[in-house]
Amino acid sequence: MAGPALRIEVFDALDSTNEEARRLALAGEPGPLWIMARIQSAGRGRRGRPWTSASGNLFCTGLYRIEAGPARAAQLSFAAALAAGDLAASVIDPALVRLKWPNDLLIGGRKAAGILLESGAHPHGGLWLAVGIGINLAAHPADSERPATDFTVHGAHLAPDAALEVLASRFEHWRQRWAADGFAPLRDAWLARAHGLGEACTARLNGETVEGVFADLAEDGSLRLDLKDGARRLISAGDVFFPGAAAP
């Protein structure tokens, strides 16, 4: 069954669309609501990294209230990655579009989007979930720690408003699949676009670096790393680098 109709609010400027989602959630907003800013003054990515907010790019957050624990809600980061991949593949050669664990969009091997999920207790019960997505539509940073790109490099010219319409629709598609059938459909679709599956990689964790082969995605979304000694390691949080990619 379809949920409430999606709403979109567009702001000329915000500190952060995720911060606006948090403020609205704590004031009682249940969503679904997508928030877009034409400019962000304090955008951020995973692990508190700053997110460059160049004009013409897409900065948005979907706000949802869901009845799920934080661990299960975190699976929706894969729904966000799939939605970003669907958007890219609608205007760029799908063969160039890949998803890098845990939730980066790559186009031609270079990062074109980032995703940040945040959540907390909603005043009306359950969790509020902020699905923050930044997509390089018109420009990309030249000095980022990982090689970056944008849609225009690949001949695609898309306005943020139009991009958000597609993105929000595709996220809702994957969210409903998740709500009805669990994580399995998302896992299968994500693996079909996975970057580096079957390849050697390095996982940098808190205080530890592990090398192995990216063998699979576990049932909960963890990365399965096959180590040289035959052991298997499940990585639930960290940064993964493949040969030839930039690393900090």
Residue by residue, what is the 3-state secondary structure of 138-171?
A: CCCCCCCCCCECCHHHHCCCCCHHHHHHHHHHHH
CB 84 within 8 A of CB 115: yes
* Least confident interval from 48-52, 158-162, 188-192, 197-201: 48-52
Percentage with pLDDT > 70 across the chain: 91
Residue matched to tokens 């990365």: 223
Q: What is the mean pLDDT of residues 218-247?
A: 85
Q: What is the mean pLDDT of residues 107-122?
A: 95
Q: State the pTM of this model.
A: 0.91
Please report, for the chain, the start and end positions of each structural domain, with discontinuous segments joined by +: 7-192, 200-241
- Which homologous superfamily does the CATH classification assign to the domain defined by 7-192? Bira Bifunctional Protein; Domain 2 (3.30.930.10)
Residue 204 confidence class, pLDDT cut points 50, 70, 90: confident
Q: Which two tokens stand for residue 191?
A: 């693996």
Residue by residue, what is the 3-state secondary structure of 201-212?
A: EEEEECCEEEEE
Tens of pLDDT along 30-86? Answer: 999 999 999 988 665 554 455 556 789 999 999 999 999 999 999 999 999 999 999
CATH number (3.30.450.40, 1.10.3720.10, 3.40.50.620, 2.30.30.100) of 200-241 reads: 2.30.30.100
